[in-house]
Amino acid sequence: MTAPHQLSAFEAAKKLQTHELSATALVQSCLARIEAREPVLHAFAHLDAEGALAQARALDAGPVRGLLHGLPLGIKDLFDTAQFRTTYGSKVYAQHRPALTAASVTLCQEAGAVLMGKTVTTEFAYFTPGPTANPHNPAHTPGGSSSGSAASVGDTMLPLSLGTQTAGSIIRPAAYCGVVGYKPSLGKVTGAGVKSLSYTLDVVGGFGRSVQDVGLLGAALSGDMRLMPSTPEPARLKVGMFATPWWSEVTPDTVSAWELATKKLASHQLSDVQAPTGFEQLMGLQKAVMGFEMARALSYERVIFGAQLSARLNELLSEGMATSGEQHAHNLGNVAQWRARMDALFGDNDVLITPSAQGEAPQGLAATGDPMFCRVWSLMGLPCVHLPFARGALGLPVGLQVVGRFGQDHLLLQAAAQLHQDLLA
């Protein structure tokens, strides 16, 4: 018999809406799983078991609240929460308690979600990791920066969790932890109350165990009911297979997943997509934009608490401050020109399939992997969904990401649901 914590968010939501399952029973099941696994995975920066149970009992005593009624939710520790400490993954904020809660968290709670606590993030969502381990092998990284959010969903501690992406912080940990990660179009979800790193790049999204799960979460966050899950209707999609200019960096595990995908998706119209001239420069452009904006967004921390920041973050902030405002304005002009060209990259394809990461999660917890296959899509503000469907040589998850046109998140999720179903068949 399936334990409640093993249900996907979409499956659990249906049972909760019809009172076949109580919020209290689901939270208790998740807490039991957390108790068993948290000493190994360290996914939580703060867990509020008593508060979660109180929320669940209150939900059970009243009418169905909304789309996320009774669903336990993890909150990346980059989101302000008045009810929990918010550290942004830094000892500078070890005792920080915000006065207000991030709008996205409040929207989820308004929709009936049970706030379980805060999940571990890397230091200010950059590269210095927290203690979280990979749920499939704790000797390997879960990825970052949304480390605890991805790991908690991947280990069935939680059905849903919130994350953010500035470079690759949703898609990469989703790939390493074997879950579905959804990075919405830039601006689709409000970032109010989330620690700002880059006004050009920051996006709020999240994790589930199916495309339907993240569609449910996306609908609650954005108010766009077109994102709501539906049963995939068989259709022949036009899919562009875009290996990118960095294909030489993938491991044999990703090559195998790519080859498997072309076989599994043979019923669709697949075509190879070539990178336009100059596309390879976009990775460096993303780094420059992110560095400039993070250095200024974290000015207080840089000036007042620089000695308490990691060497790697200080290096980025120094590089960012060395970039002039004039150069940044020029860079943003280039970004705007490339964003205007993105429709042409798709051609007549409905979506693109491209690598999410180089391969399986790297061994060790001292680093979180390279976001190279996510940077361009973050720079372009395009919606992305990671689909897990394979295993690598070490038995760790491997998958690919599906990329949609800007603002067409509902079409991306519809296509991703069908493609994931075919990939898992």
The C-alpha atoms of residue 221 and residue 216 are separated, in whole angstroms, by 9
263 in active site: no
Dmax over Cα atoms in the chain, in whole Å? Answer: 62
What does DSSP say about strands 238-241 and 203-208: parallel, antiparallel, or unpaired?
unpaired
The active-site residue, picked from 145, 152, 310, 378, is 145
What does DSSP say about strands 384-391 and 180-183: parallel, antiparallel, or unpaired?
antiparallel
Among residues 209, 198, 164, the alpha carbon closest in space to that of 184 is found at 164
Q: With 0-12 CB in 10 A as exposed, 13-18 as middle and 19+ as buried, what is 38? A: middle
Q: What is the DSSP string of 222-255?
A: H--GGGS--PPPP---EEEE---TTGGGS-HHHH
Q: Is the peptide bond before 145 cis (omega within 30 degrees of 0)?
A: yes
Tokens, residue 410: 């509902």
What's at 85, amino acid-wise? Answer: R
Among residues 80, 89, 81, the alpha carbon closest in space to that of 301 is found at 89
12 in Cβ contact with 159 (< 8 Å): yes
The C-alpha atoms of residue 83 and residue 113 are separated, in whole angstroms, by 15
The active-site residue, picked from 8, 161, 169, 310, is 169
The active-site residue, picked from 8, 29, 76, 152, is 76
145 in active site: yes
What's the CA dihedral at 256, 258, 261, 265 to 10 degrees? Answer: -140
Among residues 148, 178, 214, the alpha carbon closest in space to that of 383 is found at 214
φ and ψ of 359, to 5 deg: 180, -145
The C-alpha atoms of residue 236 and residue 265 are separated, in whole angstroms, by 10
Which DSSP symbol is given to 372? Answer: T
Distance between start and end Cα atoms, the chain: 23
Q: Name the residues annotated as catalytic.
A: 76, 145, 169
